[in-house]
Amino acid sequence: MNILVLNCGSSSIKYQLFDMRDKSVLAKGLVHRVGMAGSKIDHKKGDKGDKVTVSSEILDHKDGIKKVLDLLVSKENGVIKSLNEIKAVGHRVVHGGEKFAGSVLIDQEVLDAVKECVNFAPLHNPPNLKGIEAVLELMPNVKQAGVFDTAFHQTMPSKAFLYALPYMFYEKEKIRRYGFHGTSHRFVSKRASEMLKIPYERSKIITCHLGNGCSIAAVQGGVSVDTSMGHTPLEGLVMGTRCGDIDPAIILHIMKKHELTPQELDNLLNKHSGVQGISGESNDLRDLEEGWPNRSERANLALDVYAYRIRKYIGAYIAVMNGCDALAFTAGVGENSPIIRELACKNLDFLGIKIDMDLNNKTWRGVEGDISTPDAKVRTLVVGTNEELVIAEDTFDLIEGRLDPKTGKPKRK
Ligand code: AMP
């Protein structure tokens, strides 16, 4: 039983084909520059196979997905004989609003609801929708599932998700905190409880997803009780180019003083802020860490602000859950940057977080592990995230009837 996972961005399509018998990856790849000059597909057979690059004009998402399907069955680079071997397609969908607290099988009602959420995620939901609609046309008989970035955080209580604005904005316009990276926080918190051999239903875990976007979540008893991203993925931690938490009055001030349009301000906060904005050098932590701490004052400052914000949230989430069993670092930076883990965990020994510098420095590049000192009350873990696998598993469970197709809740036996 093979499941294709698609993650359609505005100009890219990430894909992975899973064999659900053993959850192995048959093929994976990335379509670059959809609808632009210089488009190409990087394709790999298996998880670790050699990369082949196919240059080809890719007009739009439908064309990109068609070319991926052609590659999957091609003589030279294919891994299946016919498209009939793909039983279902699982899509990453960024925003599900309050409508989706779990993964669902896609029908017209779901499509309409995802369209309603375009307002909340104008950059992300439209390409997700294009991917679903393309598969509907290219493989009309194949079932499709939507797995939402926001769904895992729908368990947040109102005291965590409400902004202190006039209540009308929540009631009528659904302006509230939603949280993102839910698929990753769900996978990583579960994995952390397995690594520590503690029951997920009774665990208190803080997950730090530090990648291109960054968010942190408090996961208590297997459900998200708070997370740092809000109405959009701009709130919370400092990111590569996004500012995270700032005083909202600054926005009005800058807008007025520099006569910026809403679009220009959006660009400033999302694309020119974060560690890029502070350092003036790069949005990539690998660059800023090169030569650390002797690179430059501004690079050090960027790393300090980035790590300090993480530390503040860790303290806050320990208070939210009245304790913590494990702190789990994941994604590009979380899995690969001993420097950020060291800075973020500094001065937290009072709360029981102590990391072993030797273990910390050894744990990266796909290595998973516990990097705490033996006496640390809270275990600090490095966990590899795997959002694509979660999407494949949910899709599989939906089509096999283990999850309710409308709510994604496990069906009672
Ligand atoms: P992701 O969104 O999870 O793919 O993470 C991508 C980000 O991870 C990149 O922007 C890099 O800044 C960061 N990253 C990857 N490898 C390293 C590393 N060895 N050290 C620090 N940051 C890294």
Residue 405: inside a domain: no
Does the C-beta of 35 come closer than 6 Å to ligand 1? no
Q: At residue 191, does pLDDT exceed 80?
A: yes
d(CA 213, CA 235): 10
Q: At residue 395, does pLDDT exceed 80?
A: yes
pLDDT bracket for residue 49 (50, 70, 90): confident
Assign residue 52 the CATH number of its domain: 3.30.420.40
On whether both 47 and 116 belong to a single domain, the answer is yes
**Do 7 and 388 contact (CB within 8 A), yes or no?**
yes
Residue 163: inside a domain: no
**Do 197 and 298 contact (CB within 8 A), yes or no?**
no
Does the C-beta of 240 come closer than 6 Å to ligand 1? yes
On whether both 232 and 115 belong to a single domain, the answer is no
Output the CA 335–ligand 1 centroid distance in Å: 8
pLDDT bracket for residue 304 (50, 70, 90): very high
Residue 410: inside a domain: no
Residue 36: inside a domain: yes
On whether both 130 and 232 belong to a single domain, the answer is no
**Structure tokens given for 258:** 């520099």
The tally of domains found in the chain comes to: 2
Residues 6+ apart with CB under 8 A from 376: 352, 353, 354, 355
Output the CA 210–ligand 1 centroid distance in Å: 8
Residue 166: inside a domain: no
Residues 6+ apart with CB under 8 A from 266: none
User: Helix 338-345 vs helix 297-321: angle between axes, to the nearest 10 degrees?
Assistant: 60
Does the C-beta of 339 come closer than 6 Å to ligand 1? no
On whether both 131 and 236 belong to a single domain, the answer is no
Give the full edge-to-edge strand order of the sheet including 214-220: 223-227, 214-220, 204-210, 326-330, 379-382, 369-370
On whether both 232 and 309 belong to a single domain, the answer is yes
pTM (2 d.p.): 0.96
On whether both 74 and 142 belong to a single domain, the answer is yes
DSSP 39: -
**Is 149 one of the catalytic residues?**
yes
Output the CA 74–ligand 1 centroid distance in Å: 33
Residue 178: inside a domain: no
Residue range 65-116, pLDDT digits in tens: 999 999 999 999 999 999 999 999 999 999 999 999 999 999 999 999 999 9
- pLDDT score of 285: 96
Give residue 27's domain range: 2-148
- pLDDT score of 364: 85
DSSP 11: S
- pLDDT score of 413: 66
d(CA 41, CA 27): 13
On whether both 137 and 215 belong to a single domain, the answer is no
Residue 242: inside a domain: yes
- pLDDT score of 112: 96
